[in-house]
A = this chain, B = another copy of it.
Amino acid sequence: MSHVNKSAHPFDKGRLEALLSRRFFYAPAFEIYGGVAGLYDYGPSGSTLQANIIAEWRKHFIVEESMLELDTTIMTPAPVFETSGHVARFADWMVKDVKTGDVIRADHLVKNVLEARLAGDKEARGQAAAPAKEDEKDKKKKKNKTAKAAAVQLADDVAKSYEVTLAQLDNFSGAELGELCRKFNIRNPDTDNEVTEPQEFNLMFASSIGPTGQHPGYLRPETAQGHFLNFSRLLDYNNGRVPFASAQIGRSFRNEISPRAGLLRVREFTMAEIEHFVDPQNKSHPRFKEMRDVVLVLLDRHVQSSGNTTLIKMSIGEAVEKGIIANETLAYFMARIYLFLLKIGINPDRLRFRQHMSNEMAHYATDCWDAEIQNSTGWTECVGCADRAAYDLTVHSARTGHPLVVREALKEPIVTEKEVPEFNKKALGKTFKQDAGVLQKHVESLDEAALSKLKSELAEGSTTIIIDGKTFEIAPDLLRVERKTFKQSIREYTPNVIEPSFGLGRILYTLLEHTYWSREQDVERGVLSLPPVVAPTKVLIVPLSSKEEFDPLVQEVSSKLRRAGIFSRVDDSNTSIGKRYARNDELGTPYGVTIDFASVQNKTMTIRERDTMDQRIGSIDEVIATVTDLVEGNIDWTEACQRLPAYDGVQAIES
């Protein structure tokens, strides 16, 4: 399996990053201008990998569940985000170095400093860190040069309080973060200067629309509002029925305070978001039974609030029954997210679902589980799965006056009976003149019990009502109270929204970490074991030499693969086959076919499998048929080996 790290060598982030840069998976945007923090460009390998992940996402979610795809604008007029709450609340806490003015995100500062001190403490105690922790520490030394990991032993209670603080970190307000900085004497590790009190910084990029600057606008920080604003049109497209889901893949922007974590925290990123609209009274899911037995690793909010991180393994069926996951629909999507991540090659042993703590949730959410994937920086939120309840539709409807509701014909009309006052308006006017209206209003506002009482009084003759000290003597000919039947055949409600939201860049980067390893014989020979479904190139075509007599065969193989829908590239560069295969391993291409002199004579071709370096031989058409089945997932390499005999030239070529 691709997620099993075959490497005999410990994970080396520096080597992976060098590979990703060398093979242009991605690179800092505007690199020749010195770059801008948090902006990255994807090169041919990265953008094709991303396009393949998106294609699989579309198949797994949109096609499989007939979701309604949307493509809405990034540029958004300010009133939309005023209503949604983003203008007021979509902010992070930042502190400034009191002397240099350098800006640091407050929670990241606390995290980095406390983690570094705990690492120093471990070192001072001479504790051998666990292998996973070792990676973590390695990385800290390299990336966060600034967070000092001096080997200083901490008092036991201090170390414990750091650990509790870290487990609750996402739950602190700005004031609390400021408090922590003072309490723990947290300073800017770059300069050892104190930092200011945390201030809020809104993460939306601002601009203005139109030639006279009259329309302030923001770049969206999520695609979700585009779904909500189009709700009525989507509902109509779906013939007025709920539940249904809309889906959108697109760019969003967050003006992060001081991004330093590569693709894991960027200012511009591609998201894939689903908004599943559901009846608030019925959050069951029609296909839940298909997913019931999927087992997930969960970290719920009670565990975290008690200051630890114990994981539990449980089927989603059980988790819903026990009330750990709030409802079927939320759980269904968590299982579908899990299956998707596995399909593209994420290691299931490094995947967990963490529930948000109450203060941590976005302002619009009522429950939220993050799919967190472990990488060299720790556990990283890659997919959020939130129940936004009716928040967004309600606020946009209130602001615009446009009803964002479902009107559902009731199968059984709801029949109710109630007492209704009926006035003899003419007689009423004659008797009470300008006070008639006051009386009428008063009687109409009476509740069921009061009306019943009035009814029985009138049945016995005239009665008296006092309103604001004024006495009304009412005869039965002026007012009758009658029992009437009412039939309600339409139910009107604001649907709730379950939102799975994918950060594709984070998934892509973590996938690269999970699939990277080095060959035993040479730590420099890196391999990316990307599954064929997402690998940027499926087949490398390698002509043994650049002799012209190979050209027609290269053309033939290339066009036959293209017709089979398999994306291939030719590598006819002037280097050895071994070097070309090594480059290819770094690019994550699962199969290579070699055209040599025997190919020209016998119409044969060899095929090489990336992870094992096995080579097999067959006729050109056999090899193409086999590689097509491999790429489409119809067979695995073991089955391919039953079709094609081993090729003996292997060792010579790879050495």
Interface residue ranges, A against B (CB under 8 Å): 23-24, 27, 29-33, 36-37, 39-48, 50-51, 58, 63-64, 66, 68-77, 79-80, 94, 101, 103, 201, 205-212, 215, 217, 219, 226, 229-230, 232-234, 236-237, 239, 246, 248, 250-251, 253, 255, 257-258, 267-268, 270, 396, 399-400, 402, 404, 562, 567, 569-571, 573
Structural contact, B43 and A251, CB atoms closer than 8 A: no
Structural contact, B30 and A43, CB atoms closer than 8 A: no
Structural contact, A236 and B24, CB atoms closer than 8 A: yes
Structural contact, B211 and A73, CB atoms closer than 8 A: no
A-B contacts, 9 listed (Cβ < 8 Å): A36-B217, A42-B71, A43-B70, A43-B234, A74-B74, A74-B253, A75-B205, A75-B267, A207-B219
Structural contact, A69 and B41, CB atoms closer than 8 A: no
Identify A255's interface contact among B42, B64, B209, B226, CB under 8 A. Answer: B209
Structural contact, A215 and B71, CB atoms closer than 8 A: no
Structural contact, A32 and B77, CB atoms closer than 8 A: no
Copies of this chain present in the complex amount to: 2
Chain B residues near A207 (CB-CB < 8 A): 205-207, 219
Structural contact, B48 and A69, CB atoms closer than 8 A: yes
Chain B residues near A205 (CB-CB < 8 A): 75, 207-209
Measured CA separation A549–B58 after assembly (Å)? 30
Structural contact, A43 and B237, CB atoms closer than 8 A: yes
The 9 closest A-B pairs by CB, nearest first: A47-B71, A42-B71, A41-B72, A44-B68, A32-B402, A239-B573, A32-B400, A47-B69, A29-B73
Chain B residues near A23 (CB-CB < 8 A): 237
Identify A69's interface contact among B51, B77, B396, CB under 8 A. Answer: B51
Structural contact, A39 and B75, CB atoms closer than 8 A: yes
Chain B residues near A270 (CB-CB < 8 A): 71
Structural contact, B69 and A230, CB atoms closer than 8 A: no
Q: How far is the CB of A82 from chain B (nearest CB, A)?
A: 10
Structural contact, A71 and B50, CB atoms closer than 8 A: yes
Q: How far is the CB of A464 from chain B (nearest CB, A)?
A: 50
Measured CA separation A469–B211 after assembly (Å)? 63
Measured CA separation A636–B201 after assembly (Å)? 60
Identify A44's interface contact among B70, B209, B404, CB under 8 A. Answer: B70
Residue from the set A31, A42, A211, A232 with the largest chain B CB neighbour count within 10 Å: A211
Chain B residues near A48 (CB-CB < 8 A): 69
Kindly report which residue of chain B lies nearest to residue A567, judged by CB atoms. B63
Structural contact, A80 and B33, CB atoms closer than 8 A: yes
Structural contact, B94 and A211, CB atoms closer than 8 A: yes
Structural contact, B41 and A70, CB atoms closer than 8 A: yes
Chain B residues near A40 (CB-CB < 8 A): 73
Identify A268's interface contact among B74, B248, B571, CB under 8 A. Answer: B74
Chain B residues near A39 (CB-CB < 8 A): 73, 75, 209
Q: How far is the CB of A145 from chain B (nearest CB, A)?
A: 21
Residue from the set A63, A68, A250, A257 with the largest chain B CB neighbour count within 10 Å: A68
Chain B residues near A402 (CB-CB < 8 A): 32
